């Protein structure tokens, strides 16, 4: 740690070096009394040291919401949204998935979660004026193998799904080149993927969408009921890694979770997003006066997830929360 | 600097680099048990006692009577939440000068209430508001600008419908969505070290901007959940954080609103949802509100407050923000309404 970078008098810097303090982060976690004892400096010197260390730690100074609205700080609030490809869902999500936050997609088995995730992997590749982010996607599979045939079918059907996009643009995009698929069968390889490969792809701008399909599989299978403490730990590490990636690279993150219709049992063993009443798919999304009613929006799945032209058998997946969510206990 | 000392004590001042009365307070702290640091400077015991006396009066600043405090509290306004039942139960709203904690499960509305308060704190005084600014510390990335704009627009509409006299109409000219957005300061912290750094710098920020009346930290639990392995360090850091928040609330006359998460506590085979960060943290905030679901309804319960009775009130989240439920549609809630009335009346 180069203490000379801080604007402090040499006397204070010398005292800090003598006390063998390693970093500004360490300084910030100590109280002023502890620092006085460690360094032998007076209270006002310690206050100066804390102010300098805190300013160095700080990511950015407070900005006003008006400045954010004017787009003066795109790294903090980019205002970018990833369209889902279905105008009805986009309207519900007020544009699409927000960049920089984690969105959880939960539903029962066979509801269509993987379908929606595949569709997002295609819609991210369109330019911003068509709701995309002009980049590819990283798809992390934790249970079944990646549905490559289905992806190819979706690619072929893109022109009929995305009638709003000029066909020349659609044919110019090589969709399958920009989807990076990782199979992680256990937590160890998932962590390696998130700590090494994902940041590399994101930093190079090759990828602007992270999909984890599914979160529940790994955490459900690797832990027994007694290991809940260790599971918590791993879950928190995982969710904070996802948060960091999302915020640092202004990327939407989609986590697919599995939900079960449960009795009103406060703490039950299976799907992850429960915290109380266990029902993860009927919560109203904040910001809407009408709670999201799955039956009103049946989706047809042939060419992709979209609102139907004719009534069909209801096949719905529920977008949980809509804005930000980390799988938490 | 101490002004009333005889000249030889000034030698003591310069030799020990005590620069401010606060440094002398350290002298008092350390020297209550032993006068040796003072005696080392070559002063007699008499002179040493004079230094300590002067330091004490400088640092203590005199006391305040309870009557003065009562008068001060009567002037203090509260920040309305726009849910009239909750405001009634809290006797005005979220109090300025105290720390309030909002706990609840994910998705129940804690961030919505925080965003609503960030808009409501700016309501002009002629409408019964506090007309203050707000600093919003976001640790989860849940500050969504679009939502703030919605709530600001709804608040402006609400107040312009209420504007009756000339003073209120004039106030509405400066109470617009743009001015509301320009008075919300936002800072994002990714982990607990950044949060602590921000809190170190806040007192200076608040002194430079005396119009700030609200500090929101959403949420205080997430950064500290990373410290699951070092619980003693977590407790120590949380304690000092709590003290600093209380000090800021009283000295800068602001309302501090913090959001907490829920965690599951297992006790003899039974599991229960309790606020996170432990029981130690429960002593830190003055008022604790629990937001929870009961079937499809959202309820908020006051479960810790020195000045209010425990009460439960129903609310809803609409496109406009945090609001009352419509009484005519919910016959059960009418019963709850009278319960709140009774509790408010008996306070």
- DSSP letters along B195-221, please? HHHHHHHHHHHHHH-TTEEEEEEETSH
Query: Do A115 and A207 fall into the same domain?
Result: yes
Could you read off the pLDDT of B170-196 as tens digits, one per residue?
989 999 999 999 999 999 998 899 999
Query: Do A216 and A241 fall into the same domain?
Result: yes
- Nearest Cα residue to A269 out of A212, A219, A215, A203: A219
State the pLDDT at residue A261: 67
Nearest by CB: A44 against B19, B135, B317? B19
Q: Which residues of B touch A69 (CB under 8 A)?
A: 145, 149, 181
Look at residue A189 and tell me if it is in a domain: yes
Look at residue A62 and tell me if it is in a domain: no
Distance from CA of A225 to the nearest CA of B (A): 12
Q: Which residue has the tokens 């000029």?
A: A166
Residue of B nearest to A328 (CA): B106
Interface test with A, best of B192, B200, B204 (most A CBs within 10 A): B200
Query: Do A253 and A266 fall into the same domain?
Result: no
- Grade residue A317 by pLDDT with cuts at 50, 70 and 90: very low
State the pLDDT at residue B40: 54
Q: Are A307 and A87 in contact (CB under 8 A)?
A: yes
Query: Do A101 and A188 fall into the same domain?
Result: yes
Give the integer Cα–Cα distance in Å for A218 and A184: 9
Query: Do A227 and A89 fall into the same domain?
Result: yes
* CA torsion, ordered B116, B122, B124, B129, to nearest 10 deg: 60
Per-residue pLDDT for A203 more than 60?
yes
Question: A64 vs B193: CB contact, 8 Å cut-off?
Answer: no
Please report the number of interchain residue pairs, chain A to chain B, with beta-carbon separation below 8 angstroms. 163
Q: What are phi and psi of B306, to 5 degrees?
A: -75, -20
Look at residue A50 and tell me if it is in a domain: yes
Highest mean pLDDT among A9-23, A280-294, B319-333: A9-23
Q: Are B311 and B302 in contact (CB under 8 A)?
A: yes
Chain B residues 53-92 with CB within 8 Å of chain A: none
Query: Do A33 and A142 fall into the same domain?
Result: no
Q: Which residues of B touch A66 (CB under 8 A)?
A: 178, 181-182
Q: Are A54 and B198 in contact (CB under 8 A)?
A: yes
A58 touches B: beta carbon within 8 Å: yes
Chain B residues 308-337 with CB within 8 Å of chain A: 317-319
Look at residue A223 and tell me if it is in a domain: yes
Q: What are phi and psi of B183, to 5 degrees?
A: -100, 5
- Grade residue B226 by pLDDT with cuts at 50, 70 and 90: confident
Query: Do A241 and A131 fall into the same domain?
Result: yes
Q: Which residues are B311's β-sheet partners?
A: B302
Interface test with A, best of B13, B102, B106 (most A CBs within 10 A): B106
Listed residues A204, A238, A258: the one ending a domain: A258
Give the integer Cα–Cα distance in Å for A228 and A112: 29
- Strand, coil or helix: B157: helix
Question: B106 vs A266: CB contact, 8 Å cut-off?
Answer: no
Q: What are phi and psi of A293, to 5 degrees?
A: -110, 110
Listed residues A213, A239, A258: the one ending a domain: A258
Instruction: Determine the distance from the C-alpha atom of residue A60 to the mean position of all C-alpha atoms in its chain, rounded to a whole number.
Output: 21
Give the integer Cα–Cα distance in Å for B58 and B28: 11
Look at residue A211 and tell me if it is in a domain: yes
Query: Do A250 and A291 fall into the same domain?
Result: no
Q: Are A181 and A198 in contact (CB under 8 A)?
A: no
- Which two three-digit tokens encode residue B184? 């919300």
Strands B321-324 and B311-318, sheet pairing: antiparallel
State the pLDDT at residue A306: 56
Interface test with B, best of A286, A293, A320 (most B CBs within 10 A): A286
Domain CATH code at residue A27: 1.10.150.20
Q: Are B137 and B195 in contact (CB under 8 A)?
A: yes
- Which two three-digit tokens encode residue B234? 């977590």
Distance from CA of A254 to the nearest CA of B (A): 15
Q: Which residues are B304's β-sheet partners?
A: B288
- Grade residue B79 by pLDDT with cuts at 50, 70 and 90: very high
Give the integer Cα–Cα distance in Å for A243 and A251: 10
Could you read off the pLDDT of B87-139 as tens digits, one per residue?
999 988 999 999 999 999 989 999 999 999 999 999 998 888 899 999 999 99
Chain B residues 217-256 with CB within 8 Å of chain A: 225-226, 228-229, 233, 237, 240
- Nearest Cα residue to B260 out of B230, B325, B216: B216
Listed residues A258, A286, A308: the one ending a domain: A258
ipTM: 0.77
Interface test with B, best of A44, A52, A64, A65 (most B CBs within 10 A): A65
Look at residue A198 and tell me if it is in a domain: yes
Q: What are phi and psi of B223, to 5 degrees?
A: -65, -30
Domain extent for A166: 80-258
Distance from CA of A175 to the nearest CA of B (A): 30
Query: Do A20 and A166 fall into the same domain?
Result: no
Query: Do A118 and A226 fall into the same domain?
Result: yes
Look at residue A244 and tell me if it is in a domain: yes
Query: Do A30 and A162 fall into the same domain?
Result: no
Q: Which residues are B289's β-sheet partners?
A: B102, B302
Residue of A nearest to B113 (CA): A286
Mean pLDDT of the residues in chain B: 81
- Nearest Cα residue to B244 out of B24, B236, A62, B138: B236
Query: Do A143 and A247 fall into the same domain?
Result: yes
Question: B240 vs A31: CB contact, 8 Å cut-off?
Answer: yes
Look at residue A67 and tell me if it is in a domain: no
Give the integer Cα–Cα distance in Å for A224 and A233: 14
The total domain count for chain A is 3
């Amino acid at each position: 740690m180069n203490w000379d970078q801080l604007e402090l008098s040499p006397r204070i810097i010398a005292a800090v070096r003598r006390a063998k303090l390693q970093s500004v982060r360490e300084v910030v976690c100590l109280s002023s009394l502890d620092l006085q004892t460690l360094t032998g400096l007076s209270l006002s010197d310690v206050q100066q040291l804390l102010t300098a260390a805190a300013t160095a730690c700080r990511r950015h100074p407070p900005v006003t919401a008006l400045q954010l609205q004017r787009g003066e700080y795109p790294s903090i609030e980019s205002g970018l949204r990833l369209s889902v490809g279905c105008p009805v869902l986009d309207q519900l999500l007020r544009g699409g998935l927000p960049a920089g936050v984690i969105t959880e997609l939960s539903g029962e088995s066979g509801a269509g979660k993987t379908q929606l995730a595949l569709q997002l992997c295609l819609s991210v590749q369109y330019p911003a004026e068509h709701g995309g982010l002009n980049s590819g996607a990283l798809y992390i599979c934790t249970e079944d193998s990646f549905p490559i045939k289905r992806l190819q079918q979706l690619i072929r059907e893109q022109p009929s799904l995305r009638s709003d996009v000029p066909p020349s643009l659609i044919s110019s995009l090589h969709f399958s080149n920009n989807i990076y698929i990782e199979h992680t069968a256990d937590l160890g390889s998932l962590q390696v993927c998130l700590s090494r490969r994902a940041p590399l792809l994101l930093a190079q701008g090759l990828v602007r969408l992270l999909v984890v399909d599914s979160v529940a599989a790994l955490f459900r299978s690797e832990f027994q009921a007694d290991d809940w403490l260790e599971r918590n730990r791993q879950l928190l590490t995982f969710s904070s890694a996802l948060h960091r990636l999302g915020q640092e690279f202004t990327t939407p993150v989609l986590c697919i979770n599995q939900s079960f219709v449960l009795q009103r049992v406060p703490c039950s063993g299976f799907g992850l997003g429960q915290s109380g009443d266990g029902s993860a798919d009927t919560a109203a999304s904040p910001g809407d006066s009408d709670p999201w009613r799955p039956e009103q929006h049946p989706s047809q799945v042939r060419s992709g997830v979209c609102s139907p032209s004719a009534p069909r058998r209801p096949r719905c997946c529920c977008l949980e929360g809509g804005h930000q969510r980390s799988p938490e206990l | 600097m101490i002004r009333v000392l005889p000249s030889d004590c000034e030698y003591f001042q310069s030799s020990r680099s005590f620069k401010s009365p606060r440094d002398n307070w350290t002298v008092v702290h350390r020297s209550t048990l032993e006068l040796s640091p003072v005696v080392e400077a070559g002063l007699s015991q008499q002179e040493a006692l004079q230094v300590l006396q002067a330091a004490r009066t400088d640092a203590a600043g005199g006391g305040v009577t309870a009557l003065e405090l009562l008068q001060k509290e009567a002037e203090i306004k509260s920040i309305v939440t726009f849910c009239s039942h909750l405001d009634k139960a809290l006797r005005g709203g979220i109090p300025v000068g105290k720390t309030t904690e909002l706990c609840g499960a994910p998705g129940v509305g804690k961030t919505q209430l925080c965003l609503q308060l960030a808009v409501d704190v700016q309501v002009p005084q002629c409408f019964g508001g506090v007309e203050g600014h707000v600093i919003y510390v976001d640790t989860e990335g849940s500050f969504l600008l679009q939502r703030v704009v919605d709530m600001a627009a709804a608040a402006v509409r609400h107040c312009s419908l209420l504007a009756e006299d000339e003073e209120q109409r004039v106030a509405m000219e400066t109470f617009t969505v743009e001015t509301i957005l320009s008075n919300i300061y936002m800072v994002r912290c990714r982990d607990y070290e950044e949060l602590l750094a921000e809190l170190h710098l806040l007192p200076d920020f608040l002194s430079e901007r005396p119009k700030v009346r609200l500090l929101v930290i959403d949420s205080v639990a997430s950064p500290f959940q990373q410290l699951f392995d070092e619980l003693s360090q977590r407790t120590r850091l949380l304690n000092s954080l709590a003290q600093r928040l209380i000090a800021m609330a009283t000295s800068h006359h602001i309302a501090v609103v913090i959001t907490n998460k829920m965690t599951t506590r297992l006790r003899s085979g039974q599991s229960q949802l309790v606020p996170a960060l432990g029981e130690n943290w429960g002593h830190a905030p003055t008022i604790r509100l629990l937001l929870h679901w009961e079937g499809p309804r959202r309820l908020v319960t006051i479960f810790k407050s020195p000045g209010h009775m425990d009460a439960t009130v129903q609310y809803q989240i609409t496109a406009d923000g945090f609001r009352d439920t419509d009484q005519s549609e919910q016959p059960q809630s009418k019963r709850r309404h009278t319960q709140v009335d009774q509790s408010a009346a008996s306070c």
